[in-house]
Structure 1
Amino acid sequence: MSDAFLSQTITIGTGDGEIEAYAALVQDAAPRGGVVVIHHMPGYDEPSKEITRRFAAMGYNAVMPNLYWRDAPGAAPDDAAATGRANGGVPDERLTIDVQGGADYLRSLPNSNGKVGTIGYCSGGRQSVLAAITVDVDAAVDCYGAYVTGTVPEGWPLKINALNERVTEARCPILGLFGKDDKYPTQEQVAEFEKLLTDAGKEFEFHSYEDAGHAFFAVDRPSFRPEAAKDGWARISAFYGKHLGA
């Protein structure tokens, strides 16, 4: 197997047209799984592209849809994210269409084994769980997604509702990675999420890290926690190895 991969901006089809996306594709014919990376609220930025490339280095084809493409086509990431926030964020229905488009693209590749997972950070964590409910995927990773459970406070910048009981409709296993010092989500909200999945008999695994808050994976922020991030990446690798193929 080759360790070479090609990363570039592409266009993918969705249920209502085409959008920009960033792909990192392994350059050999061996069958492999794919990962749809759901970027965080700051948008389709360089740190998120680096995460996409990391999955290719791990041996998966990966694609990251630009969720703000319809709001601000061609705009710089910061400007597009500002426009997206001003519009209330990415509507859930549109997110479902875009992630399904990413999954369909990955499955269309000649070296796909047919299995696709999702991963999201911050707002993308909630959206990864939403994808587990609404999209044909085989595994979903939620990295500290706010308002999977709980109540969205008045004045919250995104026009969303917490998923709450909808999580029991998840169609694939879920890996959740959280910081014990996080306020979005709180440990109480994580516990509620866990109970809903347990009571519904869903397959999942959750891990919460001491001395870690929100965005502990973000190497470019003061919130970065190396030990939690290292362990989190190991768990992501094992989870995808189990559900998407080694």
Structure 2
Amino acid sequence: MYQTDMYEGMLAETVTIHGANGDVINAYFARPLGPGPFPGMVVIHHMPGWDEWYREATRKFAHHGYAAISPNLYYRAGHGTPEDVAARVRAEGGVPDDQAVGDIEGAMKFLRSLPYINGKVGVFGTCSGGRHAYLAACRTQGFDAAVDCWGGRVVMSPEELTPKQPVAPIDYTPNLSCPLLGLFGEEDRNPTPEQVARHEEELKKYNKVYEFHMYPGAGHGFFYYDRPNYRQAQAVDGWKKIFAFLEKYLSTPTSSA
């Protein structure tokens, strides 16, 4: 808990990491100053791109005591403004799921290689990043908590499957390796409340540890303060739920004397 006489400091910079297939990609990394130990967070950007909101979110996690890294999943599409790069990726049908999972796993391994990590790493994403967070939590080992904020296309019809997205993420639910927090809006159309309910049924079926919260009066992307879909009350509550959830599963237990 923050006290006004506490020292605060942060390091934030662009780094390179090894992603899928050993490819070198760039990432944005932020951590508190000091010896730690700190829990780690992989912060997965959305379809609008590896943009300013995600650099801010990475620093937000660092501000709250996490060593946080946001890999650029669009690195291979070239460089330019986040909007231009995202447009190229969207025109190509997104990044392949296997590649995204490999990049996320690489970010997780980067965090685990650091001497000041407390041994626990979570994964967070919104929109397509929420979908990728769920995929990574199901398809890799090493995450201790996952946060999916309104990730669409977790539930997919056979007609929606593509060579880049050949398996619906919900079909990997038996392999979910850590507790899951999901935040959703009642007015969202991707995912719809019905799709969220279908996802919840599958989590219950396999006895997974999860918390889902559905917000009235909110649609897709209600955290994004720079967009018309921002919903202040729901966003503030959502962030509180995220940090309470992560504290529960990623904090270092205090030893009793």
Compute the TM-score of the two structures, normalised by the length of structure 2: 0.90
Structure 2 partner of 1:117? 122
Tell me: CA distance 1:75–1:152, structure 2 relative to 1, closer, same or farther (3 Å).
farther
CA distance, structure 2, for counterparts of residue 110 and residue 170 of structure 1: 27
Tell me: CA distance 1:157–1:217, structure 2 relative to 1, closer, same or farther (3 Å).
farther
Structure 2 partner of 1:64? 70
Of 80, 84, 90, 1:85 maps to 90
Compute the TM-score of the two structures, normalised by the length of structure 1: 0.94
Structure 1 partner of 2:154? 148
Return the offset for 1:153: 5.8
Which aligned pairs between 1:39-188 and structure 2 lie closer than 5 A? Answer: 39-72=45-78, 74-135=79-140, 136-151=142-157, 159-160=164-165, 161-188=167-194
SS in 1 for 2:225: coil
Structure 1 partner of 2:24? 18
8 Å Cα contact 2:173/2:206 also seen in 1: no
Deviations 1:209-238 (A, max 9, x none): 000000001110010011111111011001
Deviations 1:166-215 (A, max 9, x none): 12210111000000110100111000100100110000000000000000
The structure whose Rg is larger is 2
Gaps of at least 5 residues in structure 1 are: none
8 Å Cα contact 1:212/1:225 also seen in 2: yes
SS in 1 for 2:153: coil
8 Å Cα contact 1:35/1:116 also seen in 2: yes
Return the offset for 1:146: 0.4
Alignment size in residue pairs? 244
CA distance, structure 1, for counterparts of residue 60 and residue 241 of structure 2: 14
Structure 1 partner of 2:220? 214
Structure 2 partner of 1:235? 241
Structure 1 partner of 2:201? 195
8 Å Cα contact 2:15/2:27 also seen in 1: yes
Gaps of at least 5 residues in structure 2 are: 1-5, 253-257
CA distance, structure 2, for counterparts of residue 152 and residue 23 of structure 1: 37
8 Å Cα contact 2:130/2:150 also seen in 1: yes
Superposition misfits of 4+ residues, deviation over 6 angstroms? none
Tell me: CA distance 1:153–1:219, structure 2 relative to 1, closer, same or farther (3 Å).
farther
Return the offset for 1:164: 2.5
CA distance, structure 2, for counterparts of residue 213 and residue 57 of structure 1: 27
Tell me: CA distance 1:144–1:158, structure 2 relative to 1, closer, same or farther (3 Å).
farther
Is 1:224 aligned to 2:230, yes or no? yes
Tell me: CA distance 1:171–1:28, structure 2 relative to 1, closer, same or farther (3 Å).
same
The share of aligned pairs that are identical, in percent, is 48
In structure 2, what residue type is equivalent to 1:116?
V
Return the offset for 1:165: 2.5
Tell me: CA distance 1:224–1:113, structure 2 relative to 1, closer, same or farther (3 Å).
same
In structure 1, what residue type is equivalent to 2:111?
L
CA distance, structure 2, for counterparts of residue 158 and residue 121 of structure 1: 23
